Amino acid sequence: MLDTEGLGQAVLEGDRARVEALLTTALAAGVGPVEILNQGLLPAMDVVGKRFGTKQMYISEVLLSARAMHVGLELLKPALAREGTQPGPKPVVILGTVKGDLHDIGKNLVTMMLEAGGLEVVDLGTNVSTDKFAQAIRDHRPAVVGLSALLTTTMRQMRDTLQELRRRGLLDGVKTMIGGAPVTKEFAATIGADGYASDAPGAVGEVKRLLGIPPP
C-alpha cells in the first residue's frame, strides 16, 4: 500500500528519512517501483516545480526536495533494474545534461528507466562539455547519445554540442536523442537530433525505436 499523500508531503518538506521509510514500506508490501514513481514521486516533484514557479518555494527548499527525490530514486533503482532484466549484451546509451545546466533529476530518471528497459547507460552527469561527450563516445562506442537540458538558455548548447560532435565525425553510426522540459520534437528536428522524448518512459520507447528494437 502506497501512502501517496504522506510521500508527497515528505518530498515537499525535503524529509529524506520519511521518504526512505515510506518507500521501504511500500516496496516491502509489494508496490511496484513504476507505480511509486508515477503516483508518488513524480506528482510531488510537479507540485515542487509549480510552487517554485509561483515563488511559493525558495531554491534552498527546492534543493531539499530534490535531495529527497534522489533518495527515493536510489531506493527504487534495484527494483526498476530487476523489472528490466534481459539476457545478452545490451546496447549502450550515453546520457548527460549539457554544459551550463545543473538539473539532473529528470536525466537520472531517464537513466533508471533505460536501465530498467534493458539498456546499458553511461551517465556523464551534469554540466557536460562537448569534449567530455566526445571522450565518452570514443571510450564506450554507444548506440545512442542522449542530451538533457532544463533551461531555455542551455537548449542552444544542445545544438552546439551535436554540431561539434558531428563535425568531429563522432556521430557516424550513432543515434542522437534529446529531452528536457523546454525541449520539443520540433526543436529536436531543427538541430538534427534523431529522437526526442517528453518523459522517461517515452525515452525508453524512443531509444528502442531508434535502434529498431521491437516492443515486448
Q: How far is CA 74 from CA 51, 67, 128, 186, in A?
A: 24, 11, 22, 33
CB of residue 180 vs ligand B1M: minimum separation in angstroms?
4
Q: Which is nearer to ligand B1M, 118 or 179 (CB)?
A: 179
Q: Which residues of 160-178 are buried (b: 16+ CB within 10 A; e: fewer)?
A: ebbebbeeeebbeebbbbb
Q: How crowded is residue 16: how many other Cβ atoms within 10 Å of its Cβ?
A: 18
Q: Which is nearer to ligand B1M, 142 or 146 (CB)?
A: 146
Residue 20, amino acid: E
Q: Which of 21, 34, 66, 79 binds ligand B1M (CB under 6 A)?
A: 66
Sheet of 120-123: strands edge to edge? 120-123, 92-97, 144-148, 175-179, 195-197
Q: Which is nearer to ligand B1M, 31 or 106 (CB)?
A: 106
Tell whether residue 47 is a contact of ligand B1M (CB under 6 A).
Answer: no
Q: Site mask, ligand B1M, residues 91-130, x = CB under 6 A?
A: ----x----xxxxxxxx-xx--------------------
Distance CA 5, CA 105 (A): 21
Q: Site mask, ligand B1M, residues 187-216, x = CB under 6 A?
A: ----------x-xx--x-------------
CA angle 161, 195, 112 (to 5 degrees): 90
Q: Which of 62, 79, 81, 211 binds ligand B1M (CB under 6 A)?
A: 62
Q: Is 197 helix (H, G, I), strand (E, B) or coil?
A: strand
State the residues that interact with ligand B1M by CB under 6 A.
45, 48-49, 52-53, 59, 62-63, 66, 95, 100-107, 109-110, 146-148, 150-152, 177-182, 197, 199-200, 203
